[in-house]
Amino acid sequence: MRFSSLFSSLTAVLAASTAAVLAQSPLPTPKFEALFAGQFTISSSPNTTGPFGTRVHFVISGGTLADATTGKTVATILPFADDGIVSDSGLFFPDSFLPITWSVDGHLASIKVTGIGNLNNGSMSYAHVETDSPTYSWMNSNFFITKLSATNPTQPTFTIYGVANATTKY
């Protein structure tokens, strides 16, 4: 009895919230712009097999990051690893922290990258940036995505995009 009355009140709440959601018009679609373009080199990958598929441990020896507009190098990518999962269905879920050194002031940043794709053509990810660089402190409070191309499997290229127009970042 108590269960069925709880269930019917839950049903009522769900029906009400569904109606409320349907009544909303969509927010403006976010627009992104290319901010940085980079590349790195994968030197090896020991793998472990588990319940979700294959967990890769791509050892990345480092790379560079450039301004997407000028092409000028703005940071060095330090060695890191991607410890993502290749599922049995072939999907790849990248999972890594990229440490970088900004050329302008020598401060470091850490870019956490998690997303979805496959090993043949690449992936798209959410990127979260943490830095103590005064020049790039604006990145700490903003939303970024990355697109990675794996056309060259040992030297992937990627672009970091930010939400276009400073006043509408999130």
Which residues sit at the interface with ligand NAG, rule CB under 6 A?
Answer: 31, 45-47, 54, 56, 86, 90, 118-121, 164-165
Nearer to ligand NAG, 38 or 94 (CB): 94
Q: How far apart are CB 90 and ligand NAG at their closest, in Å?
A: 6
**For residue 3, which phi and psi values (nearest 5 degrees)?**
-60, -45
Nearer to ligand NAG, 75 or 113 (CB): 113
Helices (H), the chain: 2-23
d(C-alpha 49, C-alpha 161), whole Å: 33
d(C-alpha 123, C-alpha 114), whole Å: 10
Nearer to ligand NAG, 58 or 102 (CB): 58
**For residue 9, which phi and psi values (nearest 5 degrees)?**
-70, -35
d(C-alpha 46, C-alpha 6), whole Å: 51
Q: How far apart are CB 94 and ligand NAG at their closest, in Å?
A: 12
Q: How far apart are CB 142 and ligand NAG at their closest, in Å?
A: 15
Do 80 and 65 meet the contact criterion of CB atoms below 8 Å apart? no
Nearer to ligand NAG, 46 or 134 (CB): 46
Which residue's C-beta sits nearest to ligand NAG?
Answer: 164
- Tokens coding 115: 């997303």
Q: How far apart are CB 163 and ligand NAG at their closest, in Å?
A: 9
